């Protein structure tokens, strides 16, 4: 930069792995440049995933401002958009994995608790099944309390057709 007196010269002696500062003028008149080409998409994806879990609707411009505030790095819009898209894929992929585990959990409940009711209710969407709720009534609870299992309060009753469809999907 013009007018900046900062200067540093270092040297490395033969047979030594370390550099030593030989000359230093530590007077800056320039300011730090925030552009950083080393902020790679993989690193940004991991950082954005933590932010986007809580605020999934955040726009790329909001992420750019957040990154400047947190790490002092200025990103391009394209770089931010690409990292956000990958972070959202990562977050949504985790959700799909958890949905798979939920279905296995329902199977295990039915296997280990015969005569129990376990229903995983889903809705159809363009991306496939979307989890809505799970209903569990263990046989041990209903027989001890002499009560027949019903849907939880405030929830609309599950129709028999949807229950059978879900039981077929689970098994």
pLDDT, tens digit (0-9, with 9 covering 90-100), for 15-46: 777 888 889 888 877 766 656 666 788 888 98
Closest to 75 in 3D by CA, of 123, 38, 31: 38
Predicted pLDDT at 82 = 93
Give Cα separations from 80 to 2, 55, 87, 88 (angstroms).
31, 15, 10, 12
| Strand partners for 35 | 74
- Is the predicted pLDDT of residue 167 greater than 50, yes or no? no
Q: What is the pLDDT of residues 82-128, one digit of tens each?
A: 999 999 988 887 766 777 788 888 888 888 888 888 888 877 777 66
93 burial via Cβ count (<10 Å: 0-12, 13-18, 19+): exposed
126-164 tens-digit pLDDT:
766 677 788 888 876 656 655 555 544 344 444 433 443
The backbone region for 146, taken as left when phi is positive above 0, alpha when psi lies in -120 to 50, beta otherwise, is: left
């Amino acid at each position: 930069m013009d007018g900046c007196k900062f200067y540093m010269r270092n040297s490395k002696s033969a047979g030594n792995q370390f550099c030593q500062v030989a000359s230093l003028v530590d007077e800056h008149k320039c300011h730090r440049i925030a552009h950083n080409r080393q902020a790679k998409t993989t690193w940004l994806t991991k950082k954005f995933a933590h932010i986007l879990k809580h605020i999934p609707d955040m726009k790329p411009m909001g992420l750019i401002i957040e990154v400047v505030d947190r790490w002092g790095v200025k990103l391009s819009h394209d770089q931010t958009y690409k990292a956000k898209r990958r972070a959202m894929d990562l977050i949504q992929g985790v959700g799909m994995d958890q949905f798979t585990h939920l279905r296995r959990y329902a199977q295990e409940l039915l296997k280990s608790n015969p005569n129990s009711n376990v229903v995983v209710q889903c809705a159809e969407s363009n991306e496939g099944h979307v989890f809505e709720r799970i209903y569990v009534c263990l046989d041990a609870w209903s027989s001890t309390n002499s009560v027949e299992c019903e849907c939880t309060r405030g929830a609309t009753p599950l129709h028999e057709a949807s229950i059978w469809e879900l039981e077929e999907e689970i098994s």
